[in-house]
Structure 1
Amino acid sequence: MKNSMSWLDIKVWLEEQRHLLEGAFIDNVFVLNNSIVLRLRRRDLHGHLWLIIEPGRRISITYAQIKPPDSHSSGKQQMWRRMVRDCVIQSVEQLDLERVVFFNLKCGNEIRRLVAELLPRGIACVLNEEGKIVLITESRSMKDRVLKPGVMYSPPPTRKPFIEMSVNELVQMLSTGKDLIRGLIKGWGLPPEVAEAVVRMCNVEKSVSPMNVDSNVVECLKSKALELVENVVKKPDPCIVYVEGSPQGFYPFTPLTHSGAEIRKFEKFNDAVDEYFRALLEHELVQQALREVEAEISKLQKSVEDIERRVSLAQRELEEVRRRLEVLETRYALLDELHRCVVYTVRGRGWDSVTSCINSVEVDIKVSGVEPSKGQYVVLIDGVELVLDVRRDLVEVYNDLRKRVSELESTVKRALEEKERLVNKINELRLRSEVTRKRIRYTLQSKPEWYERFHWTYTTTGFLVIAGRDASQNISLLKRYAEPSDIVMHADIQGASTVIIKTGGREVDEETLREAAVLAACYSKAWKAGYGAIDVFWVKREQVSFSAPSGEYLPKGSFMVYGKKNYIRGVRLELAIGVEKYGDRYRVIVGPETTVARKALAYMVLIPGDIDPSSIAKSFIEKLRESGLREVAELIDVNEVSVRIPGRSKIVKYLAKEGLAGKEDANG
């Protein structure tokens, strides 16, 4: 099974992805175990790219919403953020035919270099302008180099590329392998799939000894290897090879395969790499997300095991005490006669004469031991040992046994109740773990549309409406996403989302304007102020400018509107938030009730109120579950609902469709 990228894989990947990497802005950095995940942003692309650097394995770009847990490995993560966040990737290069990639970064006024080693025991590190390591995933000390902060970075020892070797050198390097294939891999540095392919192209038996290979074969092998590499880099044919449904390798060309292997083709080599390692990424995300939960489950399980041990001991003692009590009850007359005799004998003749009392009763009873210092003797009767005391009568012994039975029964009951509570807690945590796993898997498979990072809706007439979630998004919408013919909306209040209607050059009717105005009104300070309605104005994008009039100052995040403003009066602050099925995933949608109701599996209608967004979101998820939409409730992230809520609110309606019972809720 293939575990890492080869130098050819890297060469093909860089050729394919370089245009996305160079010029990209590093928006954020996350640490997943030993992997570094860079969230990239480009001016010419909508949405984010996620660059995954996994030392010793791979580099790849994914478009899935990774959403790494931000609370774990915070110290290490913060150091990486200080070093590379807000940097621009100026260029990317590969070290010869080696598994080492350099990302050259411009970080403010400084130049840094991010190194990704994909060879075994590889690392990722950041170098300063002098080439010294300032940050590293893991320090290493090897016979040929030392990698740790403060020392000059030294790349792994490189071999002379096979393309630069003479025929004699190639023959000599082939002899480092036990057979021809191993010689090509070890001596020439060819990836195994390339070695297999060129041997077949030259019609040579792969098991032949390198010592028996003449110069003509060597020249053929070199020529075919160069030809294959050149063709693959120019025109890759990416695929993943599966055997019995299990992925065995990813390749930039179709390799020689075993019989029964299934080959799945991909348009991009990056897609093949991303798909191949998706399961590993899922495992790492789950591991980080559930680290505390798994630790809590382990702790609870130990407590349950301890309770089970204590219950077992208590139940064993309870059984013994109950048996003694039963014997005492059924043979009371006999035991009372014996006890009176023993008490009389001890007082008159001493402990040595106690056995004489046996003759005065039945033969199936026996004094099996005495402890004069404690005033006790042991009676064996019906297979049960009873400890009797000459200073106490049998009624007291009987009452002690009854009391002990009661104590043990109470102990067992309490312990079993505690065990049940702990088991229920464990089951709840395991359910939460399973939901988290399912949600992470679902999220990795989902590819959100570019506009979903904003507030957005589609009007009844099919126009896309997008609104900024903060000041930076407001400016970004106007500068990067709004076309001259698009419509810009804003609530007539200071502090509100900028709303864009993407017209595509079409005329916009009154209904569309009023539907879009709902977002402008609701995502404004009017909501937090508790307004019932507010005016909204709209203009064309070409009327908006970021330049203040001469002699005036324009605050950061503000813009000027020139020309006539068109007003929509009295837009009600009433927002519907729901969940729709979109392709093979669910997503949160917002807008006026008329647009949301047409698409949503379930939705709620909000007005300004006094319940915080987090509580409203949790209530909505719970209502989904109660309505029978359990899968939706498990897969939708409560935070995705919460961020769509404008502020403290009140639920005035909840409705689930598809035959499910609708619920009206005036209290939230």
Structure 2
Amino acid sequence: MVIYLKRSLNALDLMAIVRELNTLSKTAYINNIYGISENIFLFKFGGVKCSLVYEFGRRINITGFDFEKPKIPSQFCSFLRSKLLRSKVLNVSQMGFDRIVNFQLDNGLSIIFEIMDNGNLLILDSNGVIIGVQKPIKTSIRRLFPGESYIPPRIRGFNPFKVDFEELYKTFKESKGSLVVSLTKIMNVSGEIAEELCFRCGLNKNLKVSELKREELEALLNTLLDMASSIESGSINPQIVSSSGRIVSVVPLDFGIYSNLEAEFFNDFNSAVDEYFHRLMNLEFEELKAKVRSEVEGRFKATISKQNELIGEMLNKAEKLRFFGKTLMENLDFFDGILRIFRDLASKVGWSNVLAEVEKYDLELSKYIYGFDVKNRILNIDFKGEILPLNVLESAASNASKFFDEAKNLEAKASRALKALKSLEENMELEVEKEFSKRIVKPIRIVGLVKRKWYENFHWFKSSDGFLVVGGRDASQNEALVRKWLRDDGIYVHADVHGGPSVIIISDSNPIPESTIYEAAQFASSFSNAWRAMLESTSAFWVYGRQVSKSPPSGEYLARGAFMIYGKKNYINNIPLRVSLGIMSLDNSYILVSGPPSAISKWCFKSLTLAPGEKSLDDIFNQLKRFLSDGLNESQKAFVKDLSINDFRRLLPRGGFRFIFQ
């Protein structure tokens, strides 16, 4: 698979973001707004103290980073402040299945954040009329100007949540090209989602779309709806995906296409997106800096190249001159002999005729003579393949001294040229930094991010024997859990009822005791539909990981989150449905956990046990907190006091409850 770097959020990502942003509703108010650059705005909230970053065409999320702010706000930023400050957020929503987020405010205005294309930021009145827009646009379809009614962009293809299946199937059958490309065009999904849909449905992404079968398209559509349903219900596993340490994507769910890559897990999707785009910014900073450097170096290139060439020539010549001087000093008698004979013969026949006279005088000697410059009295002597230019009016030692002096002067010139070159290169670096600083917006971290272990977005507990036991929250998580984390020597557990989590025991190649298997079976049974049916007990079975397969018998189809079990099933009967809640110490803090009573009582300093009953979580919420707080110290009580009903909801089965007092 070709791995592409994600540079903007897709519609499913925004669905997860918006769900989490709704924690701002009815509590948060806009405290301040900063136009960090033309493409980045920062919204500071009071009530729920946090910051929201919006980057045009890329992302919107709660951020733990601050940004260097301009001293003077832009005209549009001043406009936003005049209209929006102190306004309370009533609701945050996503427009259809598009990359548009709508903040409805208590003053009747709405803020529209467009993520698609190059992005845009608009303010609408209560009638949907634009009163402010960052990027006015005029096309054949849209007019984004103050006074115009806001019209969302035309959706590409079909909205998968409102589509008529027959019309959708007909469009696919009449299309050309590959399945993965057609999915992006017809079902309005990103390439990443399209690839994941093909993977989850076991379809070749390069399949000719005209060959797509009806049941295959139904599976693709249902898989997309399942993914959206997981996000809407909060059953997510936020993570940054990397390949060899280099970021690739950020996703709210486990993606099968990334199963062989590294994953880093987070408490919530906003935190994952925030950290991902911070790293992406750093990566893009380096890319931009390389581009700026190339541009600036282009302007300096000719001068630097010429200077380097000149320095090289001077140093090479100096080296040769030193070699000449050294050669003369090591062979003074030889060269002085040649020079003396040459001068003597010239005094008899003249400088113009001396070369011919040398040949008559000494043929062997003439072999060393390479040439003679009559005007400048320079005799070129060929000595061991090197041509030495000697002044015949001076001694060999005097010639050597001049060679050394000339070499020294050239080296001094080269040294000065090197200093000039260094200064030029420093100026170039300053120019690079100057140009670079004009084009970037750099965030500054202001709070730390809480990273999660991979299993913390699933149901999980630590068995009384110390084994990690993990269960899926829905079909999507069941699928991901078994595909990615179940090893051949691990154990798979499932309640013997329809509708329940796939539960696995992580073995790490260690023998798994019966007590841990029993706890996993009680866990699987308690989080199954047996709890909602208010059964007192049920049965469960377990098998080894190597017995679990996603491959059905020929001609059969396995639904999402379902598996084939091959070989003997090991049954455990009459398992009482019980779930304990407990408070456990972890890294100088506390966490709320749930699981089988025997495991929770082993690891927690305070716990209580629940069974299926008629009271809802809303009915017993305050009672749960009172029971858990009883007998604790002040810091432990403060932890329990801060727990929300959602903290309990994530840890408990669906259905009613009753307390078990022992």
TM-score by length of 2: 0.49
Between the two structures, name the one with larger relative contact order (CA 8 Å, sep ≥ 6).
2
